[in-house]
Chain A
Amino acid sequence: MVDAPFLSVKNLTKYFAPTAFSRGPVVRALEDISFDVARGQVVGLVGESGSGKTTIGRSVLRLIEPTSGQINYGGTDITKLGAAQLRRQRRKMQYIFQDPFASLSPRMTIGQILTEGLDIQVIGKKSERRAKAEKALAAVDLPVDAYDRYAHEFSGGQRQRIGIARALTLEPEFIVADEPVSALDVSIQAQIINLLRDLQLRLGLTMLFISHDLAVVEYICDTVIVLYLGRIMEVAPAAELYARPQHPYTRALLSAIPSLDPLARQGRQVLKGDIPSPANPPSGCVFRTRCPFALAACAGAVPPLRATAKGNLKACIRDDIA
């Protein structure tokens, strides 16, 4: 299977249904998500809050059980793995969390946090685990004496480095980075982004990079997937997407980036209203309620994700917007 992509997500769907003891509507968090990630690529997931970015990231690592769909990873569908196989699989894929204050246990030393994965996976002897953890600390530019300290002794940026080091100790090939910089100061954000970029290139990592910061995504990602209300709106290489957004939603997102150029500011397209509830999404195209180019036909069928002239993908029935 030479041509099989590294990671292939097919028709991924996640509904959050009410429990037996509570009432409420079914929340359609993800609807029919399909995309491929090639080895060594960084794929960005962008979209507003509630668009399903984190749900995709966690489903891909099976931290959330998807309602339906396939997640093919290196030729195996990980949604069908049993507990023991999944546990072996987890060595290869790791998660970096958004909030560096919640992602490290306050009751464990950094050493315990970093060797936890090796412990769980029963890799190496105690001294080897320590060596690996210290190697990971060095990789994220933290001093080795951090090993015996507690997480509360570190700043947000340092904690995020520890979170990255934890993901690295298992030597994974695939990392899901869930808004790894959005909880940090702007000056620290650049450091962490450069660190991630550097590690990704050096270790040949494949990455799913979740963010709502479009500038960061442009810098680090090869391909960008634009999400809205649990559906894919557009998929394109980063440079292409930023230069010539094809989907009206992508255009609105890009024009929301603050600009220093007053002329660019005038042409700004501001979306009205809020993202609709995923418990009661609009018929047809989910974006039509806020789309400045919406037609009557948009309320009909769900627009399929189809190839544009350039060979990228977009879910919009209008070809005249570009």
Chain B
Amino acid sequence: MAITAPDPTVDPTAVPKTKGPLRRAFDRFFENRAARAGLLIVIPILLAVSTYPLWWPFGPNAIDLRAMNKAPSAIHWLGSDGVGRDVMARLLQGGRISLLVAICSVAISTVIGFLVGAVASFGGRLVDGAVMRLVDLAMTLPPVIFLLVLASIAGTGIAPTILVISLLSWPVLSRMVRARLLELRERDFVVAARGMGAGLPHLLFRHGLPNCIDILVVYATLQIANAILLEAGLSFLGLGIAPPEASWGNMLNLARSTVVLENYPWQWMFPGAALVLTVLAINFIGDGLRDAFDPRSDLN
């Protein structure tokens, strides 16, 4: 290719350098007060939950026979339960399990949702029709009953709970991803990539994924809150995390007799409050991310 040097007297690009689209989205995110508050709540919770064995003297299943159903005190900050276990230690361990289950199941369901949506939108009409009918089917199943059936098949424990929650939550995401990719497929820059010989993996991961990242991030964040609640619900019903392993859901389950509810409020109040606070904070973050990724928000 014979090429001449550009004319040095002309500077056709007197454009100020600006930030990329991702960077601008994050700037907008940090301007959002609720989202910042959400981060301020979630980050300490994550830190506490992941490091607690280093600084808290009690283990989650260690029994202190001198302290059964004791109210919060200097030794047991959040009191103890009916068999003398420290509520603070169980709360932190429960947070660990609950967040682990939530994050893993969301990661799995995000991958499933993206791939199903991608296959539907790039696979041609027949594949699209078949896959989307399957998604319709998955969406029309009543979630609670579906969850209970799945859970009773998969059993209790961490891995089955992750599996059950991830199998329940991908269809909505795959619909959103499909809609986005169907639109993207006809965009000129994707046609250009095809014209340069791009195959499906290139189209999906160089164009599809970056242009779905807003959907994925927002979905994942909001779904984490949802998954924590689902896990709590399952454990409360005795199908999620089985005792003696702690989770916020099964702590609430153990505390549901009227005697405990009336006389030992610290046994259900703290896990309940942790659950509400975490879910609320994550929802704030999710809302903030959604607004940050909305292209129209630049106009305001």
List, in ascending order, chain A residues with CB within 8 A of B237's CB. none
Name the one of A19, A87, A202 contacting B197, with C-beta atoms under 8 angstroms: A87
Decide yes or no whether A116 CB sits under 8 A from chain B: yes
Q: Tell whether, in the assembled complex, residue A139 and residue B1 are in contact, meaning their CB atoms are under 8 Å apart.
A: yes
Q: Tell whether, in the assembled complex, residue B12 and residue A168 are in contact, meaning their CB atoms are under 8 Å apart.
A: no
Q: Which A residues, 149 to 164, have Cβ-Cβ distances below 8 Å to chain B?
A: 149-150, 152-155, 158
Decide yes or no whether A12 CB sits under 8 A from chain B: no
Decide yes or no whether A10 CB sits under 8 A from chain B: no
Q: Tell whether, in the assembled complex, residue B196 and residue A149 are in contact, meaning their CB atoms are under 8 Å apart.
A: no
Q: Which residue of A lies closest to B22 (CB)?
A: A107
Decide yes or no whether A294 CB sits under 8 A from chain B: no
With most chain A CB atoms within 10 A of its CB, the pick from B7, B15, B199 is B15
Q: Tell whether, in the assembled complex, residue A138 and residue B6 are in contact, meaning their CB atoms are under 8 Å apart.
A: yes
Q: Tell whether, in the assembled complex, residue B6 and residue A141 are in contact, meaning their CB atoms are under 8 Å apart.
A: yes
Q: Tell whether, in the assembled complex, residue A150 and residue B21 are in contact, meaning their CB atoms are under 8 Å apart.
A: yes
Q: Which B residues, 9 to 28, have Cβ-Cβ distances below 8 Å to chain A?
A: 10-13, 15-18, 20-22
Q: How far is the CA of A182 from the CA of B187 in the complex (A)?
A: 18
Q: Tell whether, in the assembled complex, residue A154 and residue B13 are in contact, meaning their CB atoms are under 8 Å apart.
A: yes
List, in ascending order, chain B residues with CB within 8 A of A63's CB. 191, 194-195
Name the one of B10, B21, B192 contacting A103, with C-beta atoms under 8 angstroms: B192
Decide yes or no whether A33 CB sits under 8 A from chain B: no
Q: Which A residues, 102 to 160, have Cβ-Cβ distances below 8 Å to chain B?
A: 102-109, 113, 116-117, 119-121, 135-136, 138-139, 141-143, 145-146, 149-150, 152-155, 158
The minimal Cβ–Cβ distance linking A183 to chain B, given in whole angstroms, is 11
With most chain A CB atoms within 10 A of its CB, the pick from B5, B192, B198 is B192
Q: Which residue of B lies closest to A148 (CB)?
A: B17
Interface mask (B181-207 → A, CB under 8 Å = 1, otherwise 0): 000000111011111111100100011
The minimal Cβ–Cβ distance linking A174 to chain B, given in whole angstroms, is 12
Q: Which residue of A lies closest to B211 (CB)?
A: A107
List, in ascending order, chain A residues with CB within 8 A of B6's CB. 138, 141-143
Decide yes or no whether B145 CB sits under 8 A from chain A: no
List, in ascending order, chain B residues with CB within 8 A of A322's CB. none
Q: Tell whether, in the assembled complex, residue B211 and residue A143 are in contact, meaning their CB atoms are under 8 Å apart.
A: no
Q: Tell whether, in the assembled complex, residue B197 and residue A91 are in contact, meaning their CB atoms are under 8 Å apart.
A: yes
User: How many A residues are at the interface, by size bracket?
Assistant: 35 or more
The minimal Cβ–Cβ distance linking B21 to chain A, given in whole angstroms, is 6
Q: Tell whether, in the assembled complex, residue B3 and residue A153 are in contact, meaning their CB atoms are under 8 Å apart.
A: no
Q: Which residue of B lies closest to A95 (CB)?
A: B195
Q: Tell whether, in the assembled complex, residue B13 and residue A142 are in contact, meaning their CB atoms are under 8 Å apart.
A: yes
Decide yes or no whether B125 CB sits under 8 A from chain A: yes
Q: Which residue of A lies closest to B2 (CB)?
A: A202
Q: Which residue of B lies closest to A154 (CB)?
A: B15
List, in ascending order, chain A residues with CB within 8 A of B10's CB. 141
Q: Tell whether, in the assembled complex, residue B197 and residue A90 are in contact, meaning their CB atoms are under 8 Å apart.
A: yes
Interface mask (B203-228 → A, CB under 8 Å = 1, otherwise 0): 00011001100000000000000000
- 26 inter-chain pairs at a CB distance below 8 angstroms, sorted by A residue, are A63-B194, A88-B197, A90-B195, A90-B197, A91-B197, A94-B195, A94-B196, A95-B191, A97-B191, A103-B189, A103-B192, A120-B199, A121-B196, A138-B4, A139-B3, A139-B4, A142-B12, A143-B12, A143-B13, A150-B18, A150-B21, A152-B18, A153-B15, A153-B18, A158-B15, A171-B1
Binding site for B on A (CB under 8 A): 19-21, 58, 61, 63, 83, 86-88, 90-91, 93-95, 97-99, 102-109, 113, 116-117, 119-121, 135-136, 138-139, 141-143, 145-146, 149-150, 152-155, 158, 166, 168, 170-171, 202-203
Binding site for A on B (CB under 8 A): 1-7, 10-13, 15-18, 20-22, 125, 129, 187-189, 191-199, 202, 206-207, 210-211
Which 9 residue pairs across A and B have the least CB separation, nearest first? Answer: A117-B196, A103-B188, A87-B197, A90-B197, A102-B188, A105-B189, A107-B210, A97-B188, A139-B3
Besides A94-B195, A120-B202, 9 more A-B contacts (Cβ < 8 Å) are: A87-B199, A90-B195, A95-B195, A108-B210, A119-B202, A145-B13, A146-B13, A150-B21, A158-B15
